[in-house]
Chain A
Amino acid sequence: MKIFITLLTLMLLLLFSCTQEETCRENKQVLFRSGFYNSGTGNTLNIDSITVFGLNNYSIDVDSLYKNVKNINKIALPLNNSAEESIFVLNINGTHDTLNIQYSNKEYFISYSCGMVITHHVDTVLSTNHVIKGYKIVNRDINTTDVQHLQILL
């Protein structure tokens, strides 16, 4: 009888220890991260005021990602998962420029607690040159890692 009780107790202990609840502890945000730099010195540049919004396929502007944000030197933009091109309008200190990012998409499985995301690989970046004097792609792979992808030279 002692044997039965010992075995049963041990079994229940081990079985209860195996049940687990899952929570997502990983970053799920996939953002295209750009920094502003002085085209002359190459140093980081703070923008006095910036407004950023995206243009969808029908050229209708959607909500602002940044609205009159002061004293900022980097921005993080979500790319369109359902397209291979995203266009953003940047109003830098009252002057508009557009930033056109062309990329390919790939499904990326994080975990069953976090789910899946779409990651991107940047092919081309185009921009108007009212305020923007140039740019440099520093990292073409856009995923959940917090790294800079584009340097915008002003």
Chain B
Amino acid sequence: MYNIYRYCFSLLLVCCVTTLTGQKVDSEKKDSTNKFELNSLRVEVDVSPIITTFLNRGDIYQYESAIQAEINNRFYPVFEIGYAGANKLTTSGINYQGNAIFYRLGMDFNLIKNQIDKNKFTNYFLIGARLGHTNFNYKMQNITFENEYWDNNFQKNIQGESFNLWFEISAGIRVEIYKRVYIGWTARIKNLITKTDLGDYKPWYIPGFGINGDGSVWAFNYMLGYKF
């Protein structure tokens, strides 16, 4: 698993370098000030669900958008909001249903120096972190309890409530393809902070986080945005 992570990370870095070296970057030093200065606001929509919904055969759906500020040409606080859910028949026969709105709050840092020349396109190579949250109800239907010897197999439905907090490390790029119009992607690795006790039932899918397995979760967003 570690090798897969290392391979993916290397691939991301190579991709960043090839993308960003395609355009010349003039590095001009800007006077550094301690004053708060809101440079821009970028609104983005994740367009990856066009493909992911198809790949997941409709079992999982996720739609999200983000707003990111640029402060003092250095700090990039970001707020992400979305709606996601799952309707999945698992291999054990449990039919899982759950959906909710989720939120993420975080901060990015741009590793590329900003350009002063407004006639030139700007690019971003962002590294950052997020704290995600969602609270929702879910259903687990047709849970089968087998007891073949005593011939009393039975089924049960359960409704649960789940409070979730998770932490993300993210990396991504944004490329200005037209005046103030940006495309790019964000790759993120997520770790759940709130965990259930051994033996307790839990949601199969956490909106905004992903499939609720034992370890970290990878995710990928393909963003289309506009800078104000």
**Residues of A in contact with B (beta carbons under 8 Å apart):** 2-4, 6-7, 10-24, 28, 54, 56, 62-63, 65, 78, 80-82, 86, 106-109, 111-119
B71-116 CB contacts (< 8 Å) to partner A: 90-94, 96
Known pairs A56-B150, A82-B152, A112-B204; A22 contacts B90 (CB<8 A): yes
- In the complex, the answer to whether B56 meets A81 with C-beta atoms within 8 Å is no
| B211 neighbours in A (Cβ, 8 Å) | 20
Residue of A nearest to B48 (CB): A11
Q: Is B11 interfacial (CB 8 A cutoff)?
A: yes
Q: How far is the CB of B105 from chain A (nearest CB, A)?
A: 24
7 other contacts beyond A10-B12, A116-B143, with CB at 8 A cut-off?
Answer: A6-B19, A10-B185, A20-B211, A21-B91, A24-B92, A106-B199, A118-B147
Q: How far is the CA of A80 from the CA of B153 in the complex (A)?
A: 10
**Which residues does chain B contribute within 8 Å of A114, judged by CB atoms?**
92
Q: Classify chain B's interface size.
A: 35 or more
Query: Given A7-B222, A116-B201, is A54 in contact with B150 using a C-beta cutoff of 8 Å?
Result: yes
Contact B91 A80 (CB under 8 A): no
The reply on B3 being an interface residue by CB < 8 A is no
Q: How far is the CA of A114 from the CA of B148 in the complex (A)?
A: 16
Asked whether, in the complex, the Cβ of A81 is within 8 Å of the Cβ of B145, the reply is yes
B45 at the A/B interface (Cβ < 8 Å)? no
The answer to the question of B31 belonging to the interface, with a C-beta cut-off of 8 Å to chain A, is no
Asked if A54 and B143 sit within 8 Å, CB to CB, the answer is no
